Structure 1
Amino acid sequence: MTEEKNQHHHIPQEAFDWYDEYAHGGMDRRTFMNKLGTLAALGYSMTFLTSALIPNYALAEQVSFNDDDILATYETFDSPDGHGKGQGYLVKPTTEKANYPVVLVIHENRGLNPYVKDVARRLAKAGFVAFAPDALFPLGGYPGNDDEGRTMQRSMDRGKIQNDFVAAANFLKAHKLSNGKLGAVGFCFGGYIVNYLAAVDSDLLAAGVPYYGTPASKELRSNIKAPLMIQLGELDERVNASWPEYEADLKANKVDYQMHMYAGAHHGFHNDSTGRYDEENAELSWQRTLAFFKDKLS
């Protein structure tokens, strides 16, 4: 993995930028692949480029679903203002306890893929009850590949998806295993949803960790009361462009926030299934996330 990782540092920056645009709907797959093809003239093989940039979920398992310390199940919840019903992946520690700090885990713009489920297991292994909803549940759930998942999620009503995550947050907060203090962590689109949950209901979250997510709409931001830990990658120009204005609003509203900018890190640097993964920064950011949740949710 380390040798592979070193090779990934030699991929031209524009390839990462193209992938980011493609992953967020700004470019179709054919255009993306054609652009990658232009790098073949520079001596890069398409196999190398695609294996580095397109997720390989076999790499992303840090905690096995068979791990003795955790127990995972699928749970449904009501979402009357969203799609009626939602479903998510609930992972709890096997140690018997009356109540736990609880954390909502929010996926990127393509449904509940194996990486995000693994993040939920990592949280349970660290002593939290984690719940990872699948926004694609109304359409049959994450389809097994990101391209199709992205297309499905783009076809859905965004307002209803947001309401589904609010319903999931309330479901988890009120769960019989919950101590009543809810944290939320999300990545990319999920980072936006963490910011949205903090802004749409002042009392919902006790702590939020948005990874490279854009802020909620300006008119909602004055509602934010929850402490936030903002995780950003230095090379993520698209998301970082929204930070100065967001920070000004957080300061104006006296929100308890901290921002960490990870040097040399791309958008998606925590996702260990792609070449954008930055092991050192991902691990540092994750240890900070766990410490933040332990502090704010206990």
Structure 2
Amino acid sequence: MKYLIITISLLFVSQTLFAQDFALEQLEDSPRHHEWVEVSDGDRTIHNFVVYPEVSEDAMAVIVIHENRGLTDWVRSFADQLAAEGYIAIAPDLLSDFDEEHQKTSDFESSDAARNALYELDQDQITQDLKAVQDYVTQLPAANGNVVVAGFCWGGSQTFRYATNADGLSAALVFYGSAPTDGEQISQISTPVYGFYGGNDQRINSTIPETSELMREYDKEYIYNIYEGAGHGYMRTGDAPDASQLNKTARDSSWEWIRGILSDLDE
């Protein structure tokens, strides 16, 4: 496996089609080191946004799996927020190498087009891309070898699915994503799974009882919180300056739990 690392300044031209001004402002004000990294796996090239923490020791890494609009500015800003907590964050663009005209999320003409393309992806390809990214980030000189995966919406579902395929994960953080319903898949999970859900998201929350039962049946660790009054996507919407109080409260409470989980894993 070969890696090509491209370091780009903080003033990297934004992914304009999917710009979120508050997220861009946060990225531009960040003192942390940002890189765009290409990870090659076979004949595929996966584009990744990497943020390093300002710490004096090797750090745990977190793979951040984006929502169903691809690698947006907010996902990059979340990666930066993780780095602010002391962790290496890597956010792969799973629309990488989609076709000759679309090599990354920002090549799509609209967020709807990016979303439509995302649902055409082969699930095994997604798994292989994530494994390549995990292998890359595990081997970084500044990393301590411990890796967590976290994802939102579509990325939350992919996080749960990746936990059924991956080895060596310290934890999986699933934000408002559904779980596999196949017991054989669930039986392959070897890491704790933490679920973060908004109370006003019954489309996802209606799946929690079955997920909980399956995880219990196969003796897997599954702990979740439901934040009352918060909607689907509250980690992003709660981050915005005009966030509703319920989404903001859910987002802030989730961050408290994230810090606790990662701190316990890092001891």
Q: Which category describes the TM-score, using the shorter chain as reference length?
A: 0.7 to 0.9
Amino acid at match of 1:172: V
**Which structure carries more relative contact order (alpha carbon 8 Å, separation 6+)?**
1
Q: Is 2:33 the partner of 1:71?
A: yes
Separation in structure 2 between the aligned mates of residue 187 and residue 268 of structure 1, nearest angstrom: 7
Distance 1:101 1:62 in 2: 26
Normalised by the length of structure 2, the TM-score is 0.82
- 2:87 is aligned to 128
Which has the larger Rg? Answer: 1
Partner of 1:14: none
Structure 1 CA distance, aligned partners of 2:186 and 2:120?
Answer: 27
User: How far is the alpha carbon of 1:169 from its aligned partner?
Assistant: 2.0
Deviates more, 1:144-153 or 1:127-136: 144-153
Q: Which amino acid aligns with 1:67?
A: S
AA matched with 1:77: V
SS at match of 1:101: strand
Question: Aligned residue for 1:209?
Answer: 173
Distance 2:79 2:192 in 1: 21
Cα distance change on mapping 1:61 and 1:251 into 2, 3 Å? farther
Kept after mapping to 1: 8 A contact 2:90/2:137: yes
Aligned equivalent of 2:96 = 137
Q: How many residues align?
A: 239
Q: Is the 8 A contact 1:62 1:118 kept in 2?
A: no
Aligned partner (choices 112, 117, 125) of residue 147 of structure 1: 112
**Which is worse superposed, 203-212 or 169-178?**
169-178
Cα offset, 1:120, TM superposition = 0.3
Q: Give TM-score scaled by structure 1 length.
A: 0.74
| Structure 1: distance between partners of 2:214 and 2:138 | 27
Q: Distance in 2 between matches of 1:275 and 1:223?
A: 38
1:174 and 1:249 mapped to 2: Cα distance?
34
Give the deviation of 1:256 after TM superposition: 2.6
Q: 2:232 aligns with which of 262, 267, 290?
A: 267
Change (3 A) 1:86 1:111: same
Q: Which moved more, 1:132-141 or 1:172-181?
A: 172-181
Query: 2:3 corresponds to which residue?
Result: none
Provide the residue aligned with 1:119 in structure 2: 78
Structure 2 Cα separation of the partners of residues 131 and 56 of structure 1: 19
1:263/1:105 CA distance change after superposition, 3 Å: same
Name the structure with the higher helix share: 1
Contact kept? 1:197, 1:204, Cα under 8 Å: no
Deviation (angstroms), 1:253: 2.5
Moved more, 174-183 or 146-155: 146-155
1:40-79 alignment runs, 5 A limit: 57-61=20-24, 63-68=26-31, 70-79=32-41
Indicate the residue corresponding to 1:174 in structure 2.
139
RMSD of aligned alpha carbons:
2.2
SS of residue in 1 equivalent to 2:46: strand
In 1, Cα distance between equivalents of 2:219 and 2:262: 20
**Which residue of structure 2 lines up, in the alignment, with residue 157 of structure 1?**
122
Q: Hey, what's the Cα distance between the residues in 1 that align with 2:133 and 2:222?
A: 24
1:192 aligns with 2:157: yes
The offset of 1:241, in angstroms, is 1.9
Question: Is the Cα–Cα contact under 8 Å of residues 63 and 122 in structure 1 kept in the other structure?
Answer: no
Between the aligned partners of 1:295 and 1:186, the Cα distance in structure 2 is: 19
Whole-angstrom distance in 2 between the partners of 1:243 and 1:235: 14
- The AA in structure 2 aligned to 1:205 is L
* Distance in 2 separating the partners of 1:266 and 1:62: 24
Q: Residue 221 of structure 1 corresponds to which residue in structure 2?
A: 186
Q: Name 1:283's counterpart in structure 2.
A: 252
**Mapped contact 2:175–2:197 kept (Cα < 8 A):** yes
Aligned position for 1:84: 44
Q: Distance in 1 between matches of 2:28 and 2:192?
A: 31
SS of the aligned residue for 2:232 comes to: coil
Q: Which has the higher strand share?
A: 2
* 1:230-241 paired onto structure 2 within 5 Å: 230-241=195-206
> Cα offset for 1:107?
0.2
Is the partner of 1:110 in helix, strand or coil? coil
Deviation (angstroms), 1:204: 2.7
Provide the secondary structure at the position in 1 that maps to 2:69: coil
